[in-house]
């Protein structure tokens, strides 16, 4: 190619322009502006084109990152887009919300001393440009097949599976309990990380390509799982996990203590123009309140940054480990600090205080002791170090667990793991039920969007083989 790469020795790493913190606090719009064309080419040219692309190795969907960076640097953006979308059904979304600092960018071989290539920002630029120029087209299968597939869950894993199966010509029906396509992408992730029209246009693309969506459908209430199996030739379960992990301590029953997903869903619904009674009456609204968020993952970062935008009086994040050991993205932590969030490191909650409504969180200081079997240092309480944090709204962002799966689907034959997730073959994604597959968080436990996409793609490939074999058996009989 004409343009040399390896420009990391002469060009510094540069992210797209980030809006200043004062303006960011005033709305829920995305905080990064789009790369200008020349700047995107320049940043893509920093790639070292290494012999073993660790960025690709550590990408769950195995994106061919060095090649589409090279194509971008050389102005061949249409080819870059074709290559990018060939391994990822939602590249414009992964470019926005993937924790690149823990995956591709964190594995870049020029990370030490020169800073990694801005892979996520370039991926976002490539796909956003493709949408603007009309390169993104609905599926148009060469052959329409009679066999139909049910996808339960319209989140990222379900979307990826539906997209792949539709490309092969299957009649794809997606069932979801929400009123919009996207699941966590719409209701769990705030607009400042992912504006909702980005998800809506992808949903429309799938519908235009022949995917049928059945929204506001609760499996087990509006239609039974057995009925779905009867109506379709194969089923993939991609419901995710939404049961909030709780914390048991004195005062847990006080008003003003809410699960993270309830809080984020209310905020996102309000932003979408829905009527949200618990937001209007103040239960799920941080305006004018002292807010304490308990947890250190990406969901906690979403909550603290949402509270800032809602006009909270103060926002503190209580986390039992230090900054270096927090599970969330360091980039998100930095953004939160810029916007006015106060992090209370090495501190854990001991009790919620108040008579009827929470007025404070009693916390205790921690220190990191010896490492456990996972290699992480175990937080240990420091005796006599308790302190109180004023609080009008406490948000529990402690992770998610699966529901009671057999009861949820009224299917005792659907086997679960010892963690309560669906037990599915790690390769084929097949469950204990013939023709029923399962993917994403409902199998893995709470994980990343990009892993759900990978699972959806893998399941679609397995389902294609299963359906072809089933068709052959029918012909043979």
Pull the structure tokens for residue 46.
Answer: 């920093």
Q: Where in the chain is the domain with CATH 1.10.1060.10?
A: 7-133
Distances in Å between the alpha carbon of 125 and those of 15, 23, 105, 359? 12, 23, 16, 45
Place of tokens 């060095």: 66
Question: Which CATH superfamily hosts domain 7-133?
Answer: Alpha-helical ferredoxin (1.10.1060.10)
| Range list for CATH 3.50.50.60 in the chain | 148-241+402-476, 253-260+268-399
Minimal CA–CA distance to 454: which of 104, 106, 165, 62? 62
CA distance 95 to 121: 6
Q: Which CATH number fits domain 148-241+402-476: 3.40.50.1360, 3.50.50.60, 3.10.310.40, 2.40.40.20?
A: 3.50.50.60
- Write out residues in the chain with pLDDT < 50, as ranges: 1-2
> Are the beta carbons of 67 and 126 closer than 8 angstroms?
no
Estimate the crossing angle of helix 77-85 against helix 65-73, to 10 degrees: 160
307, 287 contact by CB (below 8 A): no
Q: What is the pLDDT of residue 2?
A: 45
* Token pair 């084929």 in the structure block, residue: 428
**Phi and psi (nearest 5°) for 32?**
-100, 135
Q: Which tokens is 380 given?
A: 């240990």
Looking at domain 253-260+268-399, its CATH architecture is: 3-Layer(bba) Sandwich (3.50)
**pLDDT value of position 1:** 44
According to DSSP, the β-strands at 314-318 and 234-237 are unpaired
**276 Rama class: left (phi>0) / alpha (psi -120 to 50) / beta:** beta
Distance of CA 398 to the CA centre of its chain: 16
Q: pTM of this prediction?
A: 0.94
- 404 CB neighbour count, 10 Å cutoff: 10
Quote the pLDDT of residue 77.
Answer: 97
Q: Any idea which residue has 């929400």 for tokens?
A: 178
Residue 431's CB is within 10 A of a number of other CB atoms, namely 24
């Amino acid at each position: 190619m004409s343009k040399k790469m390896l420009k990391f020795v002469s060009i510094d790493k540069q992210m797209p322009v980030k809006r200043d913190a004062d303006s960011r606090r005033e709305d829920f719009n995305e905080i990064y502006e789009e790369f200008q064309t020349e700047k995107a080419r320049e940043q893509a040219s920093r790639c070292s084109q290494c012999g073993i692309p660790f960025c690709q190795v550590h990408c769950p969907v195995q994106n061919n990152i060095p090649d589409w960076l090279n194509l971008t640097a050389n102005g061949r953006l249409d080819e870059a887009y074709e290559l990018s979308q060939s391994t990822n059904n939602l590249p414009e979304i992964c470019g926005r919300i993937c924790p690149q600092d823990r995956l591709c960018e964190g594995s870049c071989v020029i990370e030490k001393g020169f800073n990694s290539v801005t892979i996520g920002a370039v991926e976002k630029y490539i796909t956003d440009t493709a949408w603007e120029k009309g390169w993104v087209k609905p599926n148009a299968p060469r052959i329409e097949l009679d066999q139909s597939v049910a996808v339960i869950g319209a989140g990222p894993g379900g979307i990826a599976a539906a997209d792949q199966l539709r490309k092969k010509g299957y009649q794809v029906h997606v069932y979801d309990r929400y009123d919009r396509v996207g699941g966590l992408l719409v209701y769990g992730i705030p607009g400042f990380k992912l504006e909702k029209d980005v998800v809506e246009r992808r949903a429309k693309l799938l519908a235009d390509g022949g995917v049928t969506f059945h929204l506001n459908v609760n499996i087990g209430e509006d239609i039974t799982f057995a009925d779905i199996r009867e109506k379709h030739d194969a089923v993939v379960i991609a419901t995710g996990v939404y049961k909030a992990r709780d914390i048991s301590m004195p005062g847990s029953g006080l008003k003003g203590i809410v699960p993270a997903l309830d809080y984020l869903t209310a905020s996102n619904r309000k932003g979408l123009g829905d009527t949200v009674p618990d937001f209007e009456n103040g239960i799920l609204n941080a305006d004018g309140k002292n807010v304490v968020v308990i947890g250190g993952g990406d969901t906690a970062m979403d909550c603290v940054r949402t509270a800032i935008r809602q006009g909270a009086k103060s926002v503190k994040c209580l986390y039992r480990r230090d900054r270096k050991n927090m599970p969330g993205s360091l980039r998100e932590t930095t953004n939160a600090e810029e916007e006015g969030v106060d992090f209370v490191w090495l501190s854990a909650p001991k009790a919620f205080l108040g008579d009827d409504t929470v007025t404070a969180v009693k916390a205790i200081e921690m220190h990191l002791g010896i490492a456990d079997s996972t290699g992480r240092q175990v937080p240990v309480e420091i005796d006599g170090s308790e302190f109180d944090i004023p609080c009008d709204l406490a948000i529990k962002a402690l992770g998610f667990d699966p529901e009671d799966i057999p009861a949820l689907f009224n299917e005792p034959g659907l086997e679960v793991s010892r963690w309560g997730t669906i037990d599915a073959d790690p390769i084929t994604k097949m469950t204990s039920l013939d023709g029923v597959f399962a993917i994403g968080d409902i199998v893995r436990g709470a994980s990343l969007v990009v892993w759900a996409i990978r699972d959806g793609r893998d399941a679609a490939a397995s389902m294609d083989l299963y359906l072809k074999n089933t068709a052959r058996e029918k012909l043979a009989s």
